[in-house]
A and B are shown apart, each in its own frame.
Chain A
């Protein structure tokens, strides 16, 4: 592909937000849960943005919004140059075809009563007018592309291992030739050796087809391997965002540093961590702290952090939301 194609922005998210209303019975007003707050990014063709964070940080909600499975309650999303909010029916349908999703659990995301052939043909049947013969040919091509045998079409999902099922799920996502694939923890349920195969496959497909990936993961080892850019989330907010090498080699946000220090590394016994362990657990998103959302667990928190929420601002080549960032940058 030409360099012009490669630099093409596939998806652009501006100040994306999602607020859920949680009913508390007839007599009380519903509580508001801000799952995602003010997240912005763009991904070009052939590039991977990885979103990392712990459970409940809003990364899957973000994935659902970008995959158009859920309308955002705030912000704008532009897919392939089409502004999704307020788009006409046909433009929206085209946008929907250009983004596909791969899920975490390959055992739960394939219909056990359908043959693999049916599963892979369904996206074409629904979205295109391609004739039956041609659909079958496209399915066969796609199976070869993801490293599965042609006779796979007549089998059922239970006949395959977890790694093979994830290949089938990836094949299904690619049937409509999307520009963007949203992968929500695609390798978390797999063993290390199988995980390596699937990561390699994702990279091969990205290079061959110029796909953009939004890659959701909690595993920093995997993210470091596959990402171009990283977005670190905590309690629905962006903590730090920027180039992968910058974030991993010179993390500035105390949360990013804590995440990296918590990741088990080979040959680093317990007790030899350079950084303090984080105390406590992620607070309830129904009662987020008034100031910085990370202040309650942050070893560097000051009284200002308790009261005032820091804004995302550029510093040393990345975006960071931390009052103490400049001070931390001076003392690595």
Chain B
């Protein structure tokens, strides 16, 4: 059943156990990420899907060390490439972020600094993390632009972000992210702001760079279609929790969590011929109405009395599901 995740005799590249991120507010504490655990091996591509507010971006920001006040983060364990990120000093974290662990954001237009040229912003990374001098950095920047499919690199290097299109800006962001040959690339909704034909180009580029450099990648998206194109394994998040992890090749046909199934059924692409789309009743829980038991229970089509207790996590190999009564399982509803 499982897609062969490449054999991993060694320790995983990334290991997060029981990550919690809270945002205190006047109305109470918002649990943005609530007990997230995941492992990622070198060269593996993990997709994270979920609706807005499910905590997918916040979890990765916590990993990158980009959360600021008033966010409160804690975890039982957070290891990356043999280093304990929880024990690392701020300077050590800075040396890792942007070098071994790089991130691409949703809106390429606002992620680049409008006041500086492409060359300046690309060379900054190279000089800081790889200690290159100005001339070597500029030559390397040109190579990187060519690598991400930008023609006419000499003139593009001296362009300002507003002179480039959205797709071109995202290519520059990707060039910046891979400048130091990271072991892990986190792409947070990298194509959401782009047109569909440009989105296809960027996804193709990311997949090709990932294969060529053998880096691990986390692809965050609200779009199941995008994730299914690139990821080997997919994690589904709901209200700050990972509710399901499964191989991309099987998740869409045999979802095990009722929320995953409901999300798939709500997609117009899957409704072929049906007069009305399936919907999920109710809303994502907020600060005041967070259930004490299974978080999805108030909206779940298969809810039973046992669901008023917190849902247990069933693990099998690289898959997991957080549910009292997983679907597509012997003895459970299908």
Contacts and interface: CB of A to CB of B under 8 A. Distances in A.
Interface of A: 54-55, 161, 191-193, 195-197, 199-200, 203, 218-222, 224-226, 258-259, 261-271, 273, 277-279, 281-282
A265 B168 CA distance: 24
B197 A259 contact: yes
Give the contact-size bracket for chain B: 35 or more
A285 B201 CA distance: 22
A105 to B, nearest CB: 14
A203 B275 CA distance: 9
Given A225-B277, A267-B228, A277-B201, A191 B222 contact: yes
B121 to A, nearest CB: 21
A281 B165 contact: yes
Contacts of B263: 192-193
Contacts of A258: 197
Most A CB within 10 A of own CB, among B199, B263, B268, B278:
B268
B135 interface: no
20 contacts: A54-B196, A193-B279, A193-B280, A199-B268, A199-B277, A200-B277, A203-B275, A221-B269, A262-B197, A262-B200, A263-B196, A264-B203, A264-B226, A265-B269, A266-B225, A269-B229, A270-B203, A270-B230, A271-B204, A281-B197
Contacts of B252: 266-267
Interface of B: 51-52, 165, 167-168, 195-201, 203-204, 207, 222-226, 228-230, 248-249, 252-253, 262-264, 266-271, 275-280, 283
B270 A224 contact: no
A185 B254 CA distance: 32
A268 B195 contact: no
Q: Please indicate which of the listed interface residues A221, A224, A225, A263 has the most CB atoms of chain B within 10 Å of its own CB.
A: A225
Query: Interface of chain B, helix or strand or loop or mixed?
Result: helix
A196 B268 contact: yes
A219 B226 CA distance: 13
Contacts of B197: 54, 258-259, 262, 277-278, 281
A191 B51 contact: yes
Nearest to B198: A281
Given A193-B262, A200-B276, A277-B201, A220 B196 contact: yes
Contact of A270 (B204, B264, B276): B204
A116 B131 CA distance: 59
Given A262-B200, A270-B204, A195 B266 contact: yes
Contact of B269 (A199, A266, A269, A273): A266
Given A193-B263, A197-B279, A264-B229, A55 B195 contact: yes
A279 B200 CA distance: 10
